[in-house]
Amino acid sequence: MPRDSELVILNDGSDDGTPEYLESVTDRRVKAIHHQASGGVAKGLNFLLASTDSEHVARMDADDLCLPWRFALQEANLRSAEMVFSSVIFMNSRGLPVRPDLPGRIAPDATPLHLLLGNVLVHPTLYATRQIMDDMGGYRATAAEDYDLWLRAARKGARMVRTAEPVLMYRRHGKQATTTGGWLAKADDPLLDESYGQLARDACGCLGDTRTLRRSSVSGQAERADPQEWRSFLSQFRAKARLLRPAQRALINLRLSRFQHA
Query: pLDDT tens, 147-184?
Result: 999 999 999 999 999 999 999 999 987 665 555 445 55
- Residues 257, 118: Cα–Cα separation, whole Å: 13
Spatial contact of 191 and 149, defined as CB atoms under 8 Å apart: no
3-state class (DSSP) for residue 9: strand
Taking alpha carbons only, the member of 96, 176, 101 closest to residue 144 is: 176
pLDDT for 226: 74
Rg value, the chain, Cα: 19
pLDDT at 207 > cutoff 90 = no
Q: Decide yes or no: CATH 3.20.20.70 for domain 39-256.
A: no
- Alpha helices by DSSP H, the chain: 18-24, 41-50, 70-77, 111-115, 130-135, 145-156, 190-204, 210-219, 227-241, 246-256
Taking alpha carbons only, the member of 120, 114, 124, 115 closest to residue 41 is: 124
Left (φ > 0), alpha (ψ -120 to 50) or beta: where does 5 sit?
Answer: beta
What is the per-residue pLDDT across 66-94, written as a single tens digit (0 to 9) for each?
A: 999 999 999 999 999 999 999 999 999 88
3-state class (DSSP) for residue 117: coil
Give the rounded percent of residues in the chain with a pLDDT score beyond 70: 90
Residue 36: band (very low, low, confident or very high) from pLDDT cuts 50, 70, 90 = confident
> Regarding predicted confidence, which is higher, 225 or 117?
117
Phi, psi of 97 (to 5 degrees): -60, 140
pLDDT at 261 > cutoff 50 = no
The domain segmentation of the chain, as residue ranges, is 1-38, 39-256
CB burial of residue 229 (10 Å; 0-12, 13-18, 19+): middle
pLDDT for 166: 96
pLDDT at 107 > cutoff 80 = yes
- Residues 140, 142: Cα–Cα separation, whole Å: 6
